């Protein structure tokens, strides 16, 4: 079926345009054409003046809809998580495993591979966040699972077929040669949960790491005499820097200063979302620890942040309100930039001919009206 999305403000790679229809054939965008030039016989979908953006791409989704991926590594769980986040404009995501056993990692990879094969909407790969992390910057991760990356781990970590694999590791727990091996095997490598000094972080970037996991959170900080992982990431224009823009994980002033150091094409949004997103529940169990949502933040009883209660549509609105960026820039940080980071910008992340019809329509307040994944409409 061919449909034309008309009467909207469309975010193209060149900026917002009006009076342009997005023509969708099957799963892909066929063309952009003036609203009044849509061919006869093409079904029109009236956007009612909504803003049409590329669908949001979230590279760190621990859970949603009441499901924690670590606790339920099944295709059904992935489907439920994806459905919960789709309501907030996320049309592509990586189910994320925090530090656990390698058996859990293997089960998670198998479930994601099956979910992709079955066409579960939105899932494009997996994010393995740990267990190759530092106990000095553990955050809410259980250090009992931590280990040093060894050559025998590479095959497991890169075994996913047909999808993206993002691996977060601490460079002090991974020899640069093994980081290089992960990259050569096709994985995307990010640095996080690390207390590494600048030199160690820089060596990891030289070896092939291309980003960090939640800039500023759970990593060595920029100080007067030791730049740390934060300094190493901000110094390099090519390094991608996702941020959790909820105003609680990182102070808005700190985020604005970071953005002055980097091309905006390397700053991106991520949720680090937990099961409470898209759920009526205000708590969940994390490896035997109770995590509650308090004032919009997920935290353990001792106040340790445990992921977030953030969705991508809210992150986009927060970016506009807190970071001083335009809606166009915020939407890019949620779509085009993560697509480039994950190596999928040839098929998603922008509204142009040939790309998948992964789209989100927003109202005047930046709230989701409708979504399309591969040309299929949903809400």
How much is the pTM?
A: 0.98
> Domains (ranges, CATH) in the chain?
2-53+354-378 (2.30.40.10), 56-342 (3.20.20.140)
What are the pLDDT digits (tens) for 322-348? 999 999 999 999 999 999 999 999 999
For residue 356, the 8-state DSSP code is B
Quote the Cα angle for 157-214-107, to 5°: 25
What are the pLDDT digits (tens) for 53-68? 999 999 999 999 999 9
Please tell me the distance from the alpha carbon of residue 1 to that of residue 141, in angstroms, as a whole number: 47
What are the pLDDT digits (tens) for 278-310? 999 999 999 999 999 999 999 999 999 999 999
Please tell me the distance from the alpha carbon of residue 186 to that of residue 203, in angstroms, as a whole number: 19
Q: Percent of the chain having pLDDT more than 70?
A: 100
What are the pLDDT digits (tens) for 246-255? 999 999 999 9
The pair of three-digit structure tokens given for residue 200, joined into one six-digit string: 């160690």
Please tell me the distance from the alpha carbon of residue 22 to that of residue 317, in angstroms, as a whole number: 24
When the pLDDT of each residue in the chain is averaged and rounded to a whole number, the result is: 97
Report the pLDDT averaged over residues 152-171. 98
What are the pLDDT digits (tens) for 105-125? 999 999 999 999 999 999 999
Predicted confidence band of residue 41 (pLDDT cuts 50, 70, 90): confident
What are the Cα distances from residue 36, in Å, to 14, 17, 87, 139?
21, 14, 31, 54
Report the pLDDT averaged over residues 187-191. 98
Cβ proximity of 118 and 95 under 8 Å: no
pLDDT value at position 70?
98
Q: Is the pLDDT of residue 379 over 80?
A: no
**Count of residues making up the chain:** 379
Residues forming beta bridges with residue 191, ordered by sequence position: 169, 212
Please tell me the distance from the alpha carbon of residue 323 to that of residue 317, in angstroms, as a whole number: 10
Please tell me the distance from the alpha carbon of residue 358 to that of residue 121, in angstroms, as a whole number: 10
What are the pLDDT digits (tens) for 3-34? 999 999 999 999 999 999 999 999 999 999 99
pLDDT value at position 362?
98
Report the pLDDT averaged over residues 204-219. 98
The pair of three-digit structure tokens given for residue 219, joined into one six-digit string: 């990593």
Active site residues: 272
The gap from C-alpha 54 to its chain's centroid, in whole angstroms, comes to 14
Identify the sign of the CA torsion 66, 121, 141, 150.
positive
For 267, counting Cβ atoms within 10 Å of its Cβ (0-12 exposed, 13-18 middle, 19+ buried), the class is buried
Cβ proximity of 316 and 366 under 8 Å: yes
The continuous run of DSSP H or E covering 176 comes out as: helix 176-184
């Amino acid at each position: 079926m061919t449909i034309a999305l008309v009467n909207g403000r469309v975010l193209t790679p060149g900026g917002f345009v009006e009076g342009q229809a997005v023509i969708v054939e099957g799963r892909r965008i066929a063309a952009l054409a003036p609203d009044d030039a849509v061919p006869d016989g093409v079904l029109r979908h009236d956007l009612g003046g909504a803003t049409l953006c590329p669908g949001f791409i979230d590279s760190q989704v621990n859970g949603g809809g009441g499901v924690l991926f670590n606790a339920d590594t099944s295709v059904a769980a992935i489907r439920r998580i994806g459905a919960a986040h789709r309501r907030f404009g996320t049309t592509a995501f990586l189910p994320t495993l925090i530090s656990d056993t390698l058996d859990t990692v293997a089960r998670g990879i198998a479930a994601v591979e099956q979910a992709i094969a079955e066409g579960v909407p939105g899932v494009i790969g997996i994010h393995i966040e740990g267990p190759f992390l530092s106990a000095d910057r553990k955050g809410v991760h259980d250090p009992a699972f931590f280990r040093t990356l060894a050559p025998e781990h590479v095959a497991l970590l890169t075994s996913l077929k047909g999808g993206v694999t993002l691996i977060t590791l601490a460079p002090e727990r991974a020899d640069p040669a093994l980081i290089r091996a992960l990259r050569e095997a096709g994985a995307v490598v990010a640095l996080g949960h690390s207390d590494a000094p600048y030199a160690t972080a820089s060596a990891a970037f030289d070896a092939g790491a291309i980003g960090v996991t939640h800039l500023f959170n759970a990593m060595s900080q920029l100080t007067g005499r030791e730049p740390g992982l934060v300094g190493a990431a901000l110094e390099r224009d090519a390094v991608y820097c996702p941020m959790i823009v909820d105003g609680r994980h990182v102070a808005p002033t700190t985020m604005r200063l970071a953005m002055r150091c980097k091309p905006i094409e390397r700053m991106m949004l991520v949720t680090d979302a937990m099961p409470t997103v898209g759920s009526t529940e205000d708590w969940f169990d994390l490896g035997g620890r109770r995590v509650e949502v308090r004032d919009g933040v997920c935290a353990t009883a001792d106040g340790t942040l445990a992921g977030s209660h953030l969705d991508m549509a809210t992150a986009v609105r927060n970016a506009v309100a807190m970071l001083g960026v335009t809606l166009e820039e915020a939407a890019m940080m949620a779509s085009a930039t993560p697509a480039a980071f994950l190596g999928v910008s040839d098929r998603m992340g922008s509204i142009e001919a040939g790309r998948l019809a992964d789209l989100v329509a927003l109202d005047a307040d930046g709230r989701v009206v409708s979504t399309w994944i591969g040309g299929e409409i949903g809400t």
